[in-house]
Amino acid sequence: MARIEYAPAPESRAVVKLRRQYGLFIDGEFVEPASGEYYATINPADESPLALIAEGGEADVDRAVRAARRAFTKWSKLSGAERAKYIYRIARILQERAREFAVLESMNNGKPIKESRDVDIPLVAAHFFHYAGWADKLEYAGFGPNPRPVGVAGQVIPWNFPLLMLSWKIAPALACGNTVVLKPAQTTPLTALLFAEVCQQAELPAGVVNIVTGHNQTGAAVVAHKGVDKVAFTGSTAVGRQIAETVAGTRKRLTLELGGKGANIVFDDAAMDQAVEGIVNGIYFNQGHVCCAGSRLLVQESVAEEVVARLKRRMQTLRVGDPLDKNTDVGAINSAAQLARISELSDSGSTEGAERWSSDCALPDKGFWFAPTVFTNVSQAHRIAREEIFGPVLSVLTFRTPAEAIEKANNTQYGLAAGIWTEKGSLILKMASELRAGIVWANTYNKFDPASPFGGYKESGYGREGGRQGLAGYLEADHV
């Protein structure tokens, strides 16, 4: 199947009005960092600088936490209906400014505009709408009588879904009456800072949401601050362990959503065209920068050759290039460091004897790029089958029986997500009950809904975000 060539259809950058320099958002205003230091954030598609970002330090984090504590005394006493009005207002403004947010997300992150426009930003607004609806119903959420907010939430989010992860954290926290100090990823702070403008536009009371940018030490300061009552983190398992050690022995609540090595399991009776689309969406969506990516493809042995052949033909049609082009399927890798990680692990796959195949696509000269890649003849001992690559790289393993598929799927330190492709409903239910994964998709992959909880087992973290369950970490109630 040949790649269909389309005329370029770039989205206009003019919709985004970037500032030359961004301060920290504390107590309802943009302020200078105590150190006076700034760093440049870039466009990963061409390495061009976008803006200067404030480097927050311990003094800035302390200022933000103090602002959040002051705001908490009033925000927590508002009725749920009153808090809901602000959250609804934020959701509506996000919808009104959706194009602006989508373009900025693709510019700063590298993901295709059609993903930012059609997936990320609509889901962001949906999460705020969903939790606005919960704000006056907390006593019916099932967490005990007299539910109350925990206090100040310190939240640290990753670079793969910058605005979506912000919504997963901030929306339930505000609905429950908490205030927030959020630290966005160092490479993708721009949509969080644009969200700060939305908070101003919505007339959210000062100090309810504070955003402190910076590098790793800034996030560490948020987690360690004694004035923080709840920590929520999405990111790597290694950093999650460090956070758990920091929080251990304190009274802080902790939610961790960490790495994954999802198994996408295809049985011989699956609808093959549908399954191949699900495989592609499972691993090449957002350049594979997805914690729940279906990075391990388990195919029943009798159809393995057919599935791989169909998959390679489909991969040849994927268009890699300018994230702002509406025709682009696979955008830029987020950073040079992440590209080096993907390249190193992919090279190890070849060295260890797996068969490597990449789609035949021309990669741009500037920026960070990696062609969609699939490895066959992979064993469970290979690093590419064990370690999270977090890139557009798929490992293919085979199985003969459902029992073998379950054994191989569960043979990982992670337990975040899995997919099942079969026409048999009974097999879906059996597999789902035995897979150690926090979320299991059947005949689809990477589908999200704000009403559905998300989280993992083992080294994929603990706690849930989304849905009714996502309220639990932000509430305390009387014991019955």
Sign of CA dihedral 105, 255, 231, 206: positive
Catalytic residue among 115, 257, 459, 476: 257
Q: How many CB atoms lie within 10 A of CB 410?
A: 17
Known active-site residue 32: no
Residues 13, 5 contacting (CB under 8 angstroms): no
Structure tokens at 473: 């970490």
Sign of CA dihedral 386, 232, 125, 453: positive
Known active-site residue 291: yes
Rounded CA-CA distance 198/125 in Å is: 12
Give the SS3 label for residue 398. Answer: strand
Rounded to an integer, what is the distance from CA 81 to the centroid of its chain?
A: 29
DSSP string across 137-194: -GGGSSS-SS-EE-SEEEEE--SSSHHHHHHHHHHHHHHTT-EEEEE--TT--HHHHH
Catalytic residue among 176, 199, 291, 361: 291
Rounded CA-CA distance 139/142 in Å is: 7
255: phi then psi, degrees, rounded to nearest 5:
-125, 130
Structure tokens at 240: 């999650």
Q: How many CB atoms lie within 10 A of CB 341?
A: 17
The closest alpha carbon to 198, from 120, 289, 98, belongs to: 98
The closest alpha carbon to 250, from 218, 220, 226, belongs to: 226
Angle between the 80-96 and 190-201 helix axes, to the nearest 10 degrees? 120
Give the residue numbers marked as catalytic.
257, 291
